Structure 1
């Protein structure tokens, strides 16, 4: 018997930002089990004194995977088994569609990761997706759907997808999306957004991501117009107009050393311009509407903002950590929970764990960091296809292409390489406790750090997980204990199992079934085995 290779042991932090005395948090990064145990028992676990644990607790921790009789090879076999199930049944069924109408952009942001495209000249940048190419791309997407893939949405990307001069081509793409009943969204700098207001309403765009990097002086230095024009006031004016048309707007703020201490000024300006108060009013109105119609939406779109530490590989001395943004928010008065809600990297883990506490489904066991390793298709104006939007315009990184007259995408060896960048196949990740939490990290960041897309990139995952898991689990634990103390729940409801665990489902397969799962190329054959073991909950 031993402590799992994938075990993470953390303090439990209460809402008062102090450790909860007498208790410790256990998280298993393979099976997703999150448990609270008395600190004295956690100390015994770390010391290997399993016989000293109370018998019931020892049994529980074994069933949930925290302690095990499997050797490292046995646990790794479970990692590979779960990864293969996910990749074959869940991860390959969807297509994350991104379409680039053009590579051109009216901004020249100094930290932009697409700087390389400027070397190809303005004539190349001026190209937009032709009518023939649009027709061909959507013929291929219809073929995907006919073969059983889920193609449900499309994101417009660039360059700047919403340049005023390109409204016509964007409409043609949107017409094809509407024919296929695809939801639509966009990542845009917002500068020409007033040209697209009727378009947004007509085509019912679901969301826009728009970026500002501080108030006027800071933003105009970082979100730089190619003609040197100011950008901040125009962007926020257009954001307000877009919200009035009912689209959700996520305002992203890229933060580096230059603008870290400008975060408070930006928030104050958003308040002064009415964004915060109007969003509070909208949320209250929607809450009232949904008392009679659960799907009701307000006429005004939802507004939110969040911060993300900038990665400027050309000037690493300007970079900050994700934790720096959290610290700055807490310094200006945000609670830890409020800060996490406004920080993209922390918020992803926070939301994932919060959903797990509902115990409505098993922990996520995706071995892929993002859609780039699964089903993402980024199609550029020339018909080249990329798996990751961080590498668009780099021809040697294209995973395939399509040409007018074709009805399918043609793939090259790069696609296979991207699809095999998963934790079960990255040596450094195979025995990492954060395997299904980090999932190998960002391939693009790995390339920048090691000149190798297919190495691990750990980044700040340990620090981010420790901060979020300790606090969110602490909140949940305090809530359960308070309910038990008030007689609103039994002491059993206060037990330390905060999530379901994959340890049980993984143990249901016979050796023959495990072997078949690892060798079969038939999705149906694998699905029948998995269904027979009641691995997935039955649909309602």
Structure 2
């Protein structure tokens, strides 16, 4: 789905130009759900292109073990605007019929138009961006109808939390707004969001076309968020989730490594574009040479070479990762970033991981040790918020910088 919005893709896409102003039709929604229904079983995409073979698993046994659970997301452009209201309503109804969880990445400006669709049985999870306090945010996030968006977004965050929506705030950080991270942390505390069980705040560095400002490193951002958390029990995290995920898995299950890939793009994620194309990664929507197939007519037609490349990427297929002690933690980094920098996705995208991970691991260990030994009661932010880990279908996943809306 696509509509004009404030997004991280190229200018033509987020400006709604050259065919990017298309809103998905009901017919294509039906086509997409037919593909989703036919690809319900775990490993369906890899079996279709011959990477794996049928294992005799039945539909009933798959459902019994929870592998049939689906998460369906809305992404743009801007998926939640007045112009997309009708088709979003239709998508939510179709998802409800299938028992699928819904999430969306949105600018939050017109979220109030979707109030009746918000909640655990509708749009259950949202990612919303605030890029700073009002003056700076409103300069960076200007739309064709709304010249000032900050206060509208803040009101709509209240609306989402009241409706029982898991709400993650995204702060896109470069040198022009880095000082606003602390100010936003204070705002979250003043609003009472910091202590809300459904509220999360994550800062991430931006790159590419997302900013014309000088960039900062991930290690720099981790140092900032770690310092804020130590000084004022801030709820804002950045890339600490890798460390806390490993420790959580080690303490809960004994074996710390549960993922062999960096993200779901490497395990069969399908991005349904509004003109019938399929992509494996949301960073690549609209790039014709990066399509992995089509879904018109409800038939999954894959470009086998492209799809196979995505499903074949893991640390063992990346020469640099074979020598890296962090290979099973960082999993090679973002494939799209690796491709943009090296011309192949079978390269590592380290992005400073070796610089920031040891520090975050030590801090996470200290926090857990204090909890276990009772050496001073950790703050709620230290004990509950620090592990920025999402458990989905029994698998721990760490938020990354994949989306910078």
TM-score normalised by structure 1 residue count: 0.60
After TM superposition, list the pairs within 5 Å mapping 1:369-448 onto structure 2.
369-404=262-297, 406-448=298-340
CA distance in 2, matches of 1:242, 1:474: 34
- 1:164 paired residue number: 82
Do the aligned partners of 1:441 and 1:456 also contact (CA within 8 Å) in 2?
yes
After TM superposition, list the pairs within 5 Å mapping 1:132-531 onto structure 2.
132-145=27-40, 150-201=68-119, 203-227=121-145, 229-272=147-190, 274-276=191-193, 280=195, 283=197, 302-312=198-208, 318-329=214-225, 333-335=228-230, 338=233, 342-358=236-252, 360-404=253-297, 406-476=298-368, 482=373
State the SS of the aligned residue for 1:424.
helix
Pair 1:116–1:439, CA change in 2 (3 A): farther
Question: How many Å apart are 1:154 and its aligned residue?
Answer: 0.6
State the SS of the aligned residue for 1:258.
coil
Pair 1:389–1:336, CA change in 2 (3 A): farther
State the SS of the aligned residue for 1:236.
helix
CA distance in 1, matches of 2:146, 2:92: 31
Larger mean Cα displacement after TM superposition, 261-270 or 144-153:
144-153
- 1:105 paired residue number: 4
- 1:41 paired residue number: none
State the SS of the aligned residue for 1:209.
strand
Indicate the RMSD between aligned Cα atoms, in angstroms: 2.7
Question: How many Å apart are 1:197 and its aligned residue?
Answer: 0.5
State the SS of the aligned residue for 2:118.
helix
Do the aligned partners of 1:354 and 1:472 also contact (CA within 8 Å) in 2?
no
- 2:54 paired residue number: none
Question: How many Å apart are 1:203 and its aligned residue?
Answer: 4.2
CA distance in 2, matches of 1:119, 1:469: 41
CA distance in 2, matches of 1:238, 1:314: 24
CA distance in 2, matches of 1:215, 1:250: 17
State the SS of the aligned residue for 2:169.
strand
Question: How many Å apart are 1:475 and its aligned residue?
Answer: 4.5
CA distance in 1, matches of 2:304, 2:34: 20
State the SS of the aligned residue for 2:239.
helix
Question: How many Å apart are 1:201 and its aligned residue?
Answer: 4.1
Do the aligned partners of 2:222 and 2:356 also contact (CA within 8 Å) in 1?
no
Consecutive unaligned residues of structure 1, counting only runs of 5 or more, are 1-100, 284-301, 485-540
Do the aligned partners of 1:275 and 1:303 also contact (CA within 8 Å) in 2?
no
- 1:98 paired residue number: none
State the SS of the aligned residue for 1:206.
strand
CA distance in 1, matches of 2:126, 2:211: 28
Pair 1:305–1:476, CA change in 2 (3 A): closer
Question: How many Å apart are 1:142 and its aligned residue?
Answer: 1.4
Which structure carries more relative contact order (alpha carbon 8 Å, separation 6+)?
1
CA distance in 1, matches of 2:266, 2:109: 32
CA distance in 2, matches of 1:105, 1:470: 43
Question: How many Å apart are 1:265 and its aligned residue?
Answer: 2.2
Do the aligned partners of 2:130 and 2:171 also contact (CA within 8 Å) in 1?
yes
CA distance in 2, matches of 1:311, 1:370: 19
State the SS of the aligned residue for 1:186.
strand
CA distance in 1, matches of 2:97, 2:270: 19
Do the aligned partners of 2:92 and 2:117 also contact (CA within 8 Å) in 1?
no
Question: How many Å apart are 1:390 and its aligned residue?
Answer: 0.8
- 2:382 paired residue number: none
Instruction: Please list the CA deviations of residues 125-184 of structure 1 after superposition, one character each: whole Å capped at 9, or x if unmatched.
Output: 332212221112111211122665635111111111101111111111112111211011
CA distance in 1, matches of 2:159, 2:95: 24
